[in-house]
Chains A and B, each alone.
Chain A
């Protein structure tokens, strides 16, 4: 893609409004809320347009903003699940291991099948609630890496952190998220066909 692109915010509404709205609606289950989130996405994009360098498509860029707005939405609402509900001190991962370094809170055998749409929907609900319960930075790094699929190098550049710092944050995010998902019961249902 060459140089800086001409940005026309009003054209975004016609071109990307429906796909962004469909994506948001599948995650909030309420048209009005989904509409508000899409509007916030466009407004945030207008404010951040100087940072859009045309390295990705406009659509990808807007989707990236929308995903963060969705996490913010869950964070602002009471539906957030706090990791503290499942481990006493989320600032320390030591609670997961005993003095010998063996698992103390043992990972469970998840029985969900990600291919099944019903479980995808169940997962989405748990996922956003747990993700929004993490600290802002931890949730952002996880979202960049696992939802948007950015490389750790790209994340480091974007947030101005080192690779080792990024790995530590990702480890922390994964540990807390998987524990939170277990805490809300994800992986325990629909498992009759998987041993």
Chain B
């Protein structure tokens, strides 16, 4: 199959893979040519980018609770006791 003739199933895999590694030049070109013509693969790529941005936000704590949401002294003491018993 010519690299210019990727189908959506192949392209979707390449789009996903391109988020984890650098694709060879010919594959990058083939994917971009396909994206120019296929709005569903374009949407798929947009979705994966959004999924990544929001997942990273989940991971970096940018959606934490308010500062006043802290553990009570009693809760901390309970935890210490359990940790002491388990270690």
Give me the interface of A with B, judged by CB distance under 8 Å: 9-10, 12-14, 17-19, 21-23, 25-26, 31, 35, 38-39, 42-43, 46-47, 63, 67, 96-97, 100-103, 106-110, 112, 114, 117, 120-121, 123-124, 127, 142, 145-149, 152, 163, 166-167, 170-171, 174-175, 177-178, 181, 187
Contacts and interface: CB of A to CB of B under 8 A. Distances in A.
Contact of A107 (B10, B44, B62, B65): B44
B3 interface: no
Interface of B: 7-10, 12-13, 16-17, 19-21, 40-41, 43-44, 46-48, 50-59, 61-67, 69-71, 75-76, 78-80, 82-84, 86-87
A13 B63 CA distance: 21
Q: Main secondary structure on chain A at its contact with chain B? A: helix
A18 B84 CA distance: 19
Given A149-B56, A149-B59, 20 more contacts: A9-B87, A13-B80, A17-B70, A17-B71, A19-B61, A22-B69, A26-B64, A26-B65, A35-B71, A43-B83, A67-B59, A103-B40, A107-B40, A107-B44, A114-B57, A123-B54, A124-B58, A148-B59, A171-B12, A178-B47
